[in-house]
Each structure stands twice: as C-alpha cells, then as structure tokens.
Amino acid sequence: QVQLQESGPGLVKPSETLSLTCSVSGGSVSSDYWSWIRQPPGKGLEWIGDIYYRGNTNYNPSLKSRVAILVDPSKNQFSLRLSSVTAADTAVYYCAREYCSGGGCYLDHWGQGTLVTVSS
Amino acid sequence: EIVLTQSPGTLSLSPGERATLSCRASQSVSSNYLAWYQQKPGQPPRLLIYSASSRATGIPDRFSGSGSGTDFTLTISRLEPEDFAVYYCQQYGTFFGGGTKVEIK
C-alpha cells in the first residue's frame, strides 16, 4: 500500500519561498507521476502540478511562474517549491500519486495534508 | 485549459435517497480522463470513480459514474450516513471542478 507524508514549515513569511517534501513508502517515485494539490481553508481543491520520475513536469498555468516540483529517487521523495508567497497561498497542501492507466490518469493515493500559513 | 463546472453547489437529501451530481466540461473530455473524489472534513480526498465509470478499490456499488463528452454524472443510489461529504470531479489528474456538497436534509 502506497503511503505519502508531507513535511515542511507550517508558517512562511510573505514574499518568501514555501518548500514542502513528500516522502513515499510502499512505492517508488521512480515510476508513475507524483502530484501536488492545495486547498485554501473552506474552499475547493486546486491542482498545482505534477512530475514524472524522469523529471518531466506539468504545472497549473496560474502558478507556473512561481512553482517548481522536483523528484529525488535516492530518498524516494518529491518536493514542492512555491516562490513569492502571499496570504492567498495559505492552504492545506496535499501530495498524491497520480496513476496513469488505459489512457487516463487519476490520484489514487494521498497524503494527509499539511497546513501552510503565510503570515508575517 | 478545460474548466469543469459542478452542480448543484449543495444537495440537501435524507439518508436512503438517491443523489445525482453533475460535472460539465467546457470542452469535450475523453471518458478515460474523468475521475470523482469524495472528501470529508479534515480528511484528504478519496478516489471513488476513474475513467468516468470504474469504481476504485473498495468503493461500494451504490456509487456509480456515467457520461461522456462534456456531461458526466456521479450517482449515489441510496445515501448512507457516511456519504454526506463534498464530491469533486477531475479531468486527467489535473484540474478539479468546484465541488458539490451533499448535506443531510
């Protein structure tokens, strides 16, 4: 059973860079796609982007200029960096495995999520 | 970018009733690309349906998905107390709809 766990600072100052890591167990980041999704308090889900183990990335156009997703097969982890954060980036951040089969892709395993607050 | 619009925003029903949730895409979507998720307060989303109509592992058969092109539907045949939650559709592992909250009437 694939398990994912997000980790990183819960508080980030405005204009700084948010950095989160997702540790994967029961599976390998050297296969499939791996995704980041966020959810502002009381709001819906927003897809941030994903990465294939070979380094291919896809990003939400609305965040593309500020986002980087990286993968580290040696640690079986992948990470999210979001620069120049504002209060609007306050959200629960989830990592997930994106399983692609039969021409489609979907998020079949999720981390529990971590709340990141942007505040001075 | 394909925009997914879910309706209604809130559905007020009683246990035992049938729930019908809609997800409409701004342009045609391959059925293989459409998934549905359930989210309860304080929990991550859970995959319910993939490829528009295939149930994920462990999902009860009261949940069913259908549709093609731009119109997709999630149906819960008889609502159980644990089914009251927010439901999201998603296309190709990327963009989500705005969600439908199924609440107890």
DSSP characters for A29-90?
A: TTSSEEEEEEE-TTS--EEEEEEETTS-EEE-TTTTTTEEEEEETTTTEEEEEE-S--GGG-
Looking at residue B96, what is its pLDDT?
Answer: 97
pLDDT above 90 for A104: no
pLDDT above 90 for A115: yes
State the CB neighbour count (10 A cutoff) for residue B89.
31
> Which tens digit of pLDDT belongs to each residue from A44-71?
999 999 999 888 999 999 999 999 999 9
Looking at residue A101, what is its pLDDT?
Answer: 82
Looking at chain A, the whole-number percentage of residues with pLDDT higher than 90 is 90
> Which of A94, A103, A106 is nearest residue B35 as measured by Cβ atoms?
A106
Q: Mark which residues 59-78 of A lie under 8 Å from B by CB.
A: 60-61
User: Are the beta carbons of B93 and A61 separated by less than 8 Å?
Assistant: no
Stretch among A20-24, A82-86, A97-101 having the lowest mean pLDDT: A97-101
pLDDT above 90 for B1: no
* Mean model confidence pLDDT for chain B: 95
> Which of B43, B47, B99 is nearest residue A106 as measured by Cβ atoms?
B47
pLDDT above 90 for B105: yes
**A44 contacts on B by Cβ (under 8 Å):** 88, 96-99
Which strand (E) or helix (H) includes residue B91?
Answer: strand B86-91
Nearest-10 Cα torsion for A20, B89, B11, B86: -20
pLDDT above 90 for A80: yes
User: Are the beta carbons of A47 and B95 separated by less than 8 Å?
Assistant: yes
DSSP, collapsed to helix, strand or coil, labels residue B81 as: helix
In order of A5, A110, B54, B62, the CA distances from A113 in angstroms are: 8, 8, 26, 28
pLDDT above 90 for B37: yes
Looking at chain B, the whole-number percentage of residues with pLDDT higher than 90 is 90
**A58 contacts on B by Cβ (under 8 Å):** 94
pLDDT above 90 for A100: no
Looking at chain A, the whole-number percentage of residues with pLDDT higher than 70 is 100
**B44 contacts on A by Cβ (under 8 Å):** 94, 96, 110-113
Top residue of B5, B33, B50 to mutate, by most chain A CBs within 10 Å, is: B50
Task: Check CB contact of A104 with chain B, cutoff 8 Å.
Answer: yes
DSSP characters for B34-64?
A: EEEEEE-TTS--EEEEETTTEEPTT--TTEE
Please tell me the distance from the alpha carbon of residue B45 to that of residue A75, in angstroms, as a whole number: 26
Looking at residue A49, what is its pLDDT?
Answer: 96
> Which tens digit of pLDDT belongs to each residue from B46-100?
999 999 999 999 999 999 999 999 999 999 999 999 999 999 999 988 899 999 9
User: Are the beta carbons of A106 and B94 separated by less than 8 Å?
Assistant: no
**A46 contacts on B by Cβ (under 8 Å):** 96
Looking at residue A55, what is its pLDDT?
Answer: 84
In order of B52, B71, B89, the CA distances from B93 in angstroms are: 12, 18, 10
User: What is the average per-residue pLDDT within A82-108?
Assistant: 94
Nearest CA in chain A to B51: A104
Of the candidates B90, B79, B8, the one whose C-alpha atom is nearest the C-alpha of residue B49 is B90
pLDDT above 90 for A112: yes
